[in-house]
Amino acid sequence: MGPRCPAFLLPLATALVVAGCSSEAARPQPQGDPIVIGAPLALTGSLSGEGQMAQEGYYFCRNWVNAKGGVYVGGAWHPLVVNVQDDQSRASVSAQVTERLISQDHVHLLLGPVGNLAADRDAAVAEAHQVPILLSSSAEGTFNRQFQYVFGVASPASHYLQGVVDMALSLTPAPQSAAILFARDAFSSEVANDLNAYAATKGLNVVYFDSFPGGTNDLRGKLGAIAATAPDLVLGVGGPSDTVVTMEAARQLDVHPRLFAFTSGPGDPGFLSDMKQSAEYVYDSTQWAAGARLPIGYFLDGKTYAAQYLAAYGHRPDPYSAAGTAGCLALEVATERAGTTEPQAVRSALAALDLQTFYGEIRFDSRGLNVFKPMEVEQVQDGLAVVVWPPAAATGRPRYPMPAWDQR
């Protein structure tokens, strides 16, 4: 039997000989004890939909790792186990689950929950026990606490819609002004304030900046006020339902700036089917798009990942799924490079990690935040979400400016 290669040298288990490894080594049988990753996750409650997608993302990673033999540590292959426990979509319960996973189940590695508040609570517990945790949260407040064992694979909240601004400024005619409309919650407010500051640094005149209560189902008053300022760009921050309500109001009032862009919605299949023609030309800023052209150094490319995920679970992955898989992969590679599951060693390996994946670059600054991964910008074109920015990742060109409603 030929030599076996560590898992991080095998981007995809195949029967080919890679770097001097025998074909038998492509799928070695696990020999060591299981390596267990704990994961508090919303399986019930208001965030259970997002939790299900994240869980599937974790399990996709687990299955892929085990299909190639497991995690290579200490001269042996170890099966990977992801121990998911329900946090009921409650941040207080999530912290309790995290404590139990560490203190009673004795896990040395953690994957985070969905929801920024739960992530913040769980991060504090993991830090207190000095156990590495990989989060999908992009809320920068958590990382500004200078934790040493907390890492996040997602781009920070401040990056939302920055790519849209950069893209718009590269187009003709270049925009001069923008309106920012955002949901009145902590995360949306953080994103909107960062976006306001970023727009100013780029020379855009923010002529409208206002919020609305969560759950609002009629934004015609806000859109009328926006129309009165005649902005070139309208930038919306909130959830998918907020995007739908905004675009419905825009269509009813015949509001048509050069560009509409949102933090969520356009890339979601439900948005495309619900909004139909009203969705055309709308942009969003997303943590992950399956079609983005990204350099791959490990694992599958985005399209292959999406296809295999669809075959496994009967539906396509979303950014929660992708972030879950990416976080799991980061832990797997860091553990192999550390050569142990000892938390301090894995933490050091994570701090030094620089991995090109289907999710984008995974690399962390001194706070544990992934400021190196750009967010993709998608535009709805002919009923499909097309990646249009950044140029290196794009699969299409922006259709700009947006035509008037009666010219579609």
pLDDT the model gives residue 30:
58
- The tens digit of pLDDT for each residue in 323-349 reads 999 999 999 999 999 999 999 999 999
State whether 12 and 134 are in the same domain: yes
Q: What is the CATH number of the domain that holds 246?
A: 3.40.50.2300
Same domain, 16 and 106: yes
Separation between Cα atoms, residue 371 and residue 55, nearest integer Å: 24
Residues 272, 389, single domain; the answer is yes
| Same domain assignment for residues 125 and 257 | no
Task: Say whether both 308 and 398 belong to one domain.
Answer: no
* Maximum pairwise Cα distance, the chain: 74
Q: In whole angstroms, give the CA distance from residue 219 to residue 240.
A: 14
- What is residue 265's predicted lDDT score, i.e. its pLDDT? 80
Tell me, yes or no, whether 107 and 32 share the same domain.
Answer: yes
Average pLDDT for residues 64-73, to the nearest whole number? 96
Report the half-sphere exposure of 314 (CA within 13 A, side-chain side). Answer: 1
pLDDT at position 21 over 90: no
CA distances in angstroms from 226 to 35, 137, 139, 310, 340, listed in the order given: 54, 31, 28, 40, 56
- In this predicted structure, what is the pLDDT of residue 28? 58
Same domain, 269 and 325: no
- In this prediction, what percent of the chain has a pLDDT beyond 90? 86
**pLDDT tens-digit series, residues 274-294:** 787 889 999 999 999 999 999
Domain identity same for 31 and 127? yes
* Residue 1 falls inside a structural domain: no
In a domain, 370, yes or no: no
259 and 401 Cβ atoms separated by less than 8 Å = yes
Residues 347 and 380 in one domain: no
Report if residue 368 sits inside a domain.
Answer: no
Domain count, the chain: 2
Residues in the chain: 408
Distances (CA, A) of 116 to 47, 89, 141, 156, 163: 11, 11, 10, 12, 22
Q: Do 258 and 393 lie in a common domain?
A: yes
Mean pLDDT of 174-191: 96
Task: Give the count of beta carbons closer than 10 Å to the beta carbon of residue 106.
Answer: 9
The model's pTM: 0.90
Residue 271 has a pLDDT of: 80
Q: Which domain holds residue 199?
A: 159-286+376-407
Residue 323 forms part of a structural domain: yes
pLDDT value for 20: 33
Residue type, 348: S
Considering only CA atoms, which of 378, 397, 404, 381 is closest in space to residue 257? 404
> Is residue 183 domain-shared with residue 243, that is, in the same domain?
yes
Give the helix/strand (H/E) hosting 198: helix 186-201
- Please tell me the distance from the alpha carbon of residue 275 to that of residue 263, in angstroms, as a whole number: 16
Residue 394 three-state SS = coil
371: in domain: no
